[in-house]
Structure 1
Amino acid sequence: MFGALWRDLTGEAPGPVEITGPETVLPGPYRVAAAASTSVAAATLAAAELLRLRGIDPGAVSVDTRHAAAAFSSEKLVRVDGKPPGDAWAPLSGDYRAADGWVRLHCNYPHHAAAVCRALGVPEDRAAVAPAVAARDAWDVQEAVVASGGAAAAMRTREQWLDSPMGRALDGPLVVQELLGTAPARPLPESPRPLGGVRVLDLTHVIAGPVAGRVLAAHGADVLHIGAAHLPVVHPLVIDTGMGKRSAHLDLRTEAGRAALWRLIGSADVVLQSFRPGALAGLGFTAERLAAARPGIVLVELNAWGWEGPWRGRRGFDSLVQMASGIAWGAEEPRPLPVQALDHATGWLAAAAAMIALRNRAVEGGSRRVRLALARTGRWLDGLDRAPGGSTVDFAEFLADTGSGFGSVRYVTCPGGLVPRPMWTSGPPLPGSSAAEWR
């Protein structure tokens, strides 16, 4: 399983990686724990290859499946001053019974909640939303919400998804990698850590993209997250995925904000972005212009539904992809995965692909683009053999505490064994607490 993934990412046979521990640490029939350990192994081996490129022996590369499963549960396990930092799900978010099945509404952002209620013609109250959904077919609700600017997905079977135009559009590689342009080889900066001296500009939100940045920070990268003061955030996720990063605010609606972002790009090594397809390019930040502004840049792009097909520009989240693709299908009601596995796996694979691209840049040169999608990661997970489910175990041994602007944060330590071990040197920052500049 790991060997096939590594060959897909690199075209090479992998070096030795030891994956230990049982898969039965998470419930359900899907091999979520195996997907967790495999994607963590890919990122850990990629970091080890960067150390070897520096002439440093990384030691034995290993992954504990229990630790990887804990990392995939990280937003559930994070605590601030001993308490959960809030509910990651807004009151209107959830699964609703429709006239002919089920539909999931994603309302974690205020404008998405407003879009749902516009589409249904009801006030923002679950007691009003539920009967409005129940009176309509699930697909009609989905399409009405999407047309209103919201995010929703009707529950379908695996077969329905695979036979749909969007399902058929996902037959390409798990991770798409391509050259953006020529550039001279750029050796890695001097450092004892895999990504020491590497600058990562994190323009992502929610889980998948921020997880990728968090992984890169654990291996020594200087990760600067760019948000905006006027945009809403999901507070618990900001805390959980902020480990090891700095945070700055820019308003890309303004000329000054866009100019500041171009200055950061001019000295960045990696740009992570999870804007909806076309949104960042619509502000002038096309892949081609990024490569021209910073020859040798590694651009990592993530979205929900993929880069081809009729839904490629549609708003989407892990829970919606599970519903639409049949992963969450249940005869009586939805049966989602025990964790947001599509988000986390996509984030770890994005981090692995970024490090592989940096290795290739150091050896061969070139500007590079990497693309991943939650729906394509879901296809990968669905393609794994099924296994008997277990139950969530006690992950206490994988937790640690650190200070932060939010208070004392208990977090899941970074899985993956190598020397030096991956770790964060700072807790999550308050949003906008840093200047929009490199150190």
Structure 2
Amino acid sequence: MSAAALLASLWEMGRGEPEALQQVTFSGDNAQLPSTFQVGDVAAASIGVQALMAAQLWRERGGTTQKIGIDRRHALAMFKSDRYLSINGRPADDPWSKIAGYYQAGDGRWIQLHTNFPHHRDGVLAVLQCADERTEVAKAIAGWKAAELEQVLADADMCASMIRTEQEWQAHPQAQAIAGLPLFEVRRIADGPVIPWKPENGQRPLSGVRVLDLSRVIAAPVGARTLAQHGADVLAISAAHLPNIMPLVMDTGRGKRSAQLDLRDAAGRQQLHELISSADVFMQAYRPGSLSQLGYSAEELCALNPGLIHVSLSAYSHVGPWANRRGFDSLVQSASGIADAEGRATGGTAPGKLPFQALDHATGYLLAYATMLALQKRAVEGGSWQVRVSLAQTGRWLQAMPRRGLHEDAAELREDEIASFLQTSSSGFGEVQAIAPVEKMSLTPAHFELPAPTLGQHAPVWLP
């Protein structure tokens, strides 16, 4: 399936006018990175659809039709953006824990550990009762059955997944629970006023839109970063006691402001309430129900601020027995059969993986697209809206596409290609070089007005 066909399908999901598709042109070499899955076309199409939505909003704010260009190879580079990040001319530190990855259990099945946050690493080591060394972890796992260890770690709120085949995943209760869900959801959940676009603030498609970003790692931060590159005021909220992966903070923080609030105390919660009361979008990527325990359910927040767009990203979706399970892109690949399929394609016995975190990045761009759809609906119909996406739903979408040979029409990104896609900005981290926005928009160029901020660099207030 081509990028153009995927774009048309995504645009139809949002009920966009078919004629608008003529605004988008795909260019560049169509070779993707080695994979049996259509990751190249997914990258180009998911970036393209949110750019087309931004152009649509620009028109609704009084602008004119513009042309959008998507370079396929640039899209591949953006989906690997954290790997090309450099600070003061030096590559960013490798964020991966030395014990993260695949292991073979005693029953011959494979399991993946995700231990990049210190408390996840320590929790896994406590269960395994071994030292923080890969050889020691391998010995410990050899004494377990993979499915049993997966369950024990899940019960301990740790991050791991047994490698399943695609057939095993399709038969799993979690896969069956999400089988009927759409790729993304945009639904009205409460009454609220019509909030029309203000042409006088329409210097860019999302000028004047306020976005609270309570997310970390990749998918939701990519979505919020995408809104920022179209002009939204994105305020990322973190806390000093929460762990972060700094190369990802630098990459996905571009265009945003950053403040810190401790929601464990009343003062922090009060400040957050004040921000929410005048926000347009509230975005979070905690496990379903986690923020509800603090009084931040979609319904409560929309009651506080009628007309709010509440955006949620999860690993395995908001329904099913795994709804509350911790997860990351690579773990969803492992659970759903993607890792098994990629491993089999190499002819080896170990699991494989996609050439980049395709579920994270594609979901992030779909999240931005769906959020803009909700803003469009609010401007016409009024109401408070909920947007929901998950890595597992994006994975199911990817797996439903026709397959290809591992090296069919594939080529790694060359150094000269990568260099042409990079941009440099001065930040609190130093000179940060990272992949520039992919979409070339003729009237409202996507760009970052701010460099990546250090954590807590800004006050928790909206821009005037």
**TM-score with structure 2 setting the length:** 0.92
* Equivalent position of 1:354 in the other structure: 371
Runs of 4+ in 1 over 4 A off after TM superposition: none
Corresponding position: 1:404 with 2:427: yes
Counterpart CA distance in 2 for 1:11 and 1:214 is 23
Q: CA contact under 8 A between 1:103 and 1:153: conserved in structure 2?
A: yes
Q: 1:201 is paired with a residue of what secondary structure? A: strand
Q: Which amino acid aligns with 1:320?
A: L
Counterpart CA distance in 2 for 1:56 and 1:393 is 36
Q: Which amino acid aligns with 1:434?
A: H
* Equivalent position of 2:397 in the other structure: 380
Q: Which amino acid aligns with 2:224?
A: G
Q: Which amino acid aligns with 1:292?
A: A
Counterpart CA distance in 1 for 2:18 and 2:386 is 22
Alignment of 1:200-279 (within 5 A): 200-279=211-290
Moved more, 245-254 or 97-106: 97-106
Counterpart CA distance in 2 for 1:10 and 1:76 is 35
Q: Which amino acid aligns with 1:186?
A: I
Counterpart CA distance in 2 for 1:11 and 1:313 is 33
Alignment of 1:100-139 (within 5 A): 100-139=108-147
Moved more, 264-273 or 132-141: 132-141
* Equivalent position of 1:285 in the other structure: 296
Counterpart CA distance in 2 for 1:261 and 1:58 is 38
Aligned in 2, Cα 1:308/1:11: closer, same or farther, shift over 3 Å?
farther
Corresponding position: 1:364 with 2:381: yes
Aligned in 2, Cα 1:231/1:135: closer, same or farther, shift over 3 Å?
same
Counterpart CA distance in 1 for 2:182 and 2:16 is 12
Counterpart CA distance in 1 for 2:390 and 2:44 is 19
Q: Which amino acid aligns with 1:184?
A: P
* Equivalent position of 2:60 in the other structure: 53
Moved more, 380-389 or 189-198: 380-389
* Equivalent position of 1:74 in the other structure: 81
Deviations 1:19-57 (A, max 9, x none): 223432311111101000110011001100110101112
Counterpart CA distance in 2 for 1:364 and 1:417 is 30
Deviation of residue 417 (structure 1)?
2.3
Corresponding position: 1:38 with 2:56: no
Deviations 1:253-290 (A, max 9, x none): 11111111110001101111001111111100111111
* Equivalent position of 2:188 in the other structure: 179
Counterpart CA distance in 1 for 2:291 and 2:28 is 41
Corresponding position: 1:148 with 2:148: no
Deviation of residue 12 (structure 1)?
4.8
Q: Which amino acid aligns with 2:461?
A: E
Where do 5+ consecutive residues of structure 1 fail to align?
A: none
What is the count of residue pairs matched by the alignment?
439
Q: 2:111 is paired with a residue of what secondary structure? A: strand
Aligned in 2, Cα 1:382/1:275: closer, same or farther, shift over 3 Å?
same
Counterpart CA distance in 2 for 1:337 and 1:403 is 32
Deviation of residue 110 (structure 1)?
1.1
Counterpart CA distance in 1 for 2:133 and 2:409 is 36
* Equivalent position of 1:3 in the other structure: 8
Corresponding position: 1:157 with 2:165: yes
Where do 5+ consecutive residues of structure 2 fail to align?
A: 1-5
Q: 1:46 is paired with a residue of what secondary structure? A: helix
Moved more, 178-187 or 55-64: 55-64
CA RMSD in angstroms comes to 1.2
Deviation of residue 58 (structure 1)?
4.0
Deviations 1:374-408 (A, max 9, x none): 01000011111123251221222111101000000
* Equivalent position of 1:314 in the other structure: 325
Q: Which amino acid aligns with 1:349?
A: L
Counterpart CA distance in 2 for 1:132 and 1:391 is 38
Q: 1:30 is paired with a residue of what secondary structure? A: coil
Q: CA contact under 8 A between 1:118 and 1:148: conserved in structure 2?
A: no
* Equivalent position of 2:450 in the other structure: 426
Which of 371, 392, 416 matches 2:439?
A: 416
Counterpart CA distance in 2 for 1:23 and 1:158 is 27
Q: CA contact under 8 A between 1:30 and 1:389: conserved in structure 2?
A: no
Counterpart CA distance in 1 for 2:131 and 2:409 is 40
Deviation of residue 140 (structure 1)?
1.6
Counterpart CA distance in 1 for 2:19 and 2:391 is 24
